[in-house]
Amino acid sequence: MDPFQQILKSTLARTDAAPQAAVPQTLLETALQPQLPTVVADDFLSLAKARRTIYTLGKDLPVGEEEVIATIKEAIRQAPSAFNSQSSRALILLGKEHDRFWELVREQLRKVIPAENFHATADKLDGFAAAAGSVLFFEDQEVVTHLQRQYIAYADNFPIWSEQSSGIAQYAVWLALAEKHIGANLQHYNPLIDLDVRATWNIPESWKLRAEMNFGNLIAAADEKTFIDDDKRFIVAR
Ligand SMILES: Cc1cc2nc3c(=O)[nH]c(=O)nc-3n(C[C@H](O)[C@H](O)[C@H](O)COP(=O)(O)O)c2cc1C
């Protein structure tokens, strides 16, 4: 059984409060312990459960780079946007370009974090750099301002809808990667890194950086996740 299915099973086992396995020896063994024999991500809600924030990622992607690139592009392409404005943009970084990105983040953070506290940040950044790639999500402000001029009655809404579209695109990519057994986490080092990113990859001025998603093969499972009560969250009327 491949590691993703096993990690998925342990994740689903925890979120579904299934019985825990006997005393784990190591984190990886815990993650790999099969607990629910029949659960696979073959329907939307199983996939939604399988998508988690995974921090321990590696460079050994379970599918080829071309497939990863095509998956990310298609997930963003199929994501909805206000007036079908398609304002979401992405920079996909792999291999050395991914490493270069996290080095750039490190250098910017070094300027703002006191040296004596930097080791914690450095450890975190080492973890992100250990992944295989990153997707940087942007929203094209030219599209937003064009819509504001075109539909004056909705002018105040377009920046909000653009942010919502970005969130949908990010979630779509996160799910699509999970479906390929690729783990990911979402980071926000913008706007600190915006100018460097623009200069390094020749990004158009109108692209506003919104989030950075780090992805790779799963090395350890996600942390346990808790849920607030449904009655705090949902109102159903019928
Ligand atoms: C809008 C948004 C912003 C987030 N920002 C960060 C972030 O900057 N750094 C981080 O490590 N995780 C970030 N996360 C991940 C959340 O912490 C995570 O999704 C949440 O704890 C639930 O865990 P799960 O993703 O495993 O379901 C963000 C998630 C969302 C939806």
Domain boundaries, the chain: 1-50, 57-217
What local confidence, expressed as pLDDT, does residue 128 receive? 98
Of all atoms in ligand 1, which is nearest to the CA of residue 171?
A: 31
Burial class (CB in 10 A: 0-12, 13-18, 19+), 180: middle
How many whole angstroms from 126 Cα to the centroid of ligand 1? 18
Tokens 């705090």 belong to residue: 232
Give yes or no for residue 220 having a pLDDT over 90: yes
What digits encode the pLDDT tens for the residues 159-193?
999 999 999 999 999 999 999 999 999 999 999 99
Cα–Cα distance for residue pair 98/212, rounded to 1 Å: 11
Across the range 223-235, mean pLDDT stands at 97
pLDDT class for 24, splitting at 50, 70, 90?
very low
What's the pLDDT tens digit per position in 82-112? 999 999 999 999 999 999 999 999 999 999 9
Contact 83, 151 (CB under 8 A): yes
Q: Is the pLDDT of residue 13 over 70?
A: no
Nearest-angstrom CA–CA distance, 117 and 114 = 6
Instruction: Enter the tokens of residue 210.
Output: 């919104």
Q: For residue 133, list its beta bridge partners.
A: 94, 215
**pLDDT tens column, 31-62:** 444 333 334 556 999 999 999 999 999 999 99
Which residues have CB under 8 Å from 34's CB, separation 6+?
Answer: 1, 6, 9, 10
Q: Which CATH number fits domain 57-217: 3.20.140.10, 3.90.1640.10, 3.40.109.10, 3.40.50.720?
A: 3.40.109.10
Query: Span 2-16, mean pLDDT?
Result: 46
Q: How far is the CA of 137 from the centre of ligand 1 (A)?
A: 15
The reported pLDDT for the residue numbered 136 is 99
Sorted by sequence, the CB contacts under 8 Å of residue 15 that are 6+ apart come out as: 49, 225, 227
From the number of C-beta atoms within 10 Å of its C-beta (0-12, 13-18, 19+), residue 5 rates as middle
**Average pLDDT, rounded, for the chain:** 88
Q: Which residues line ligand 1 (CB under 6 A)?
A: 52-53, 185-188, 222, 225
Site to probe by mutation for ligand 1, drawn from 7, 14, 15, 53 as the one with most ligand atoms within 8 Å of Cβ, is 53
165 Cα: distance to centroid of ligand 1 (angstroms) = 17
The larger pLDDT score, comparing residue 199 to residue 24, is at 199
Of residues 146 and 21, more confidence is placed in 146
Question: Distance, CA 91 to ligand 1 centroid (Å)?
Answer: 20
Rounded-to-integer distance, Cα 178 and Cα 215, Å = 10
3-class state of residue 237 by DSSP: coil
**Candidate of 8, 45, 186 to mutate for ligand 1, largest count of ligand atoms within 8 Å of Cβ:** 186
Residue 40 confidence (pLDDT): 57
pLDDT of 94 reads 98
pTM of the model: 0.86
